[in-house]
Each structure stands twice: as C-alpha cells, then as structure tokens.
C-alpha cells in the first residue's frame, strides 16, 4: 500500500519544492515543503540557505534544527564534525562567509551530502548580509 500525496496542477510536490528552491523565494519554499510528508536532509539544508539569503530571522532556528537532524541521520558523524558543522553554520551569516561555506562543504561531502555541498557553491559572496 502506497502513500497518497496530493498532486497540484503544477506537478509532484517534490518537483514543486525543487522549483521553489530555484527561485529562493522563502514563501514559495515554505508552501512547497509543507506539501511533502517529509523533507529530506539535503533539501532541508537548501531551505536553510534560502532563509540565510532572503529571510535571515528564520535562518538560525532552521540551521539549528538541521544540525540536529544531521547528527541523528548521519550515523557516523563524529562529535568533532558536529562541532565544525555548527561553527560553520554560525559563520555563514557573518561578514566573510566564504570560509564557513568551504568548511561546511567539506563536512557535507564527507557525509555524502553532495547536493547540499553544491548548494553552498551557489551562494553569492557575502550571502549572509541580506536584509530580512
């Protein structure tokens, strides 16, 4: 027996989330994510990046929840890696986020979260400086 997920005229909910993430519009992203029974770890990270760029007040709570999920779902994540990820997440909204993005990208790649790591590459320089 499968799970019934409502379809909109715009297609599958996962496809809607992908399109919303591509726009980086937080309102569209939240609406699309709400249609899914579960948002995957990599997509949840990409949602954090949308908040970082366009709705900064929501970034820190979202990043904290995502870090908790990373610790639970990446079963072999060491305490040191969790600390590094936390510090890097905290550095993304800073004045020079490039170093934090690079460090976090290494952790994500080591955990096999390649789509999440690639999303960091798309951040504009000074991405954490947007006004919310």
Q: Is residue 87 situated within a structural domain?
A: yes
Q: Is residue 50 situated within a structural domain?
A: yes
Q: Which domain holds residue 43?
A: 13-122
Q: Is residue 6 situated within a structural domain?
A: no
84 closest CA partner among 60, 59, 61, 101:
101
Q: Is residue 127 situated within a structural domain?
A: no
pLDDT tens series, the chain, 132 aa = 455 555 445 579 999 999 999 999 999 999 999 999 999 999 999 999 999 999 999 999 999 999 999 999 998 899 999 999 999 999 999 887 999 999 999 999 999 999 999 999 978 766 554 444
- pTM: predicted TM-score of the whole model, two decimal places: 0.85
Other residues' Cβ atoms within 10 Å of the Cβ of residue 82: 16
Q: Token pair of 23, please?
A: 């726009």
Q: Is residue 132 situated within a structural domain?
A: no
Q: Is residue 36 situated within a structural domain?
A: yes
Q: Is residue 116 situated within a structural domain?
A: yes
Q: Is residue 85 situated within a structural domain?
A: yes
Number of domains in the chain: 1
């Amino acid at each position: 027996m499968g799970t019934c997920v409502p379809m909109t005229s715009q297609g599958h909910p996962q496809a809607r989330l992908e399109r919303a993430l591509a726009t980086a519009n937080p309102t569209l992203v939240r609406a699309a994510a709400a249609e899914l029974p579960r948002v995957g770890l990599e997509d949840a990270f990409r949602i954090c990046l949308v908040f970082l760029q366009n709705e900064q007040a929501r970034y820190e709570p979202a990043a904290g929840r995502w870090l908790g999920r990373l610790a639970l779902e990446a079963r072999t994540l060491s305490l040191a890696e969790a600390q590094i990820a936390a510090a890097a997440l905290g550095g993304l909204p800073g004045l020079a986020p490039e170093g934090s993005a690079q460090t976090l990208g290494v952790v994500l790649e080591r955990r096999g979260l390649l789509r999440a790591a690639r999303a960091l590459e798309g951040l504009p320089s000074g991405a954490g400086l947007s006004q919310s």
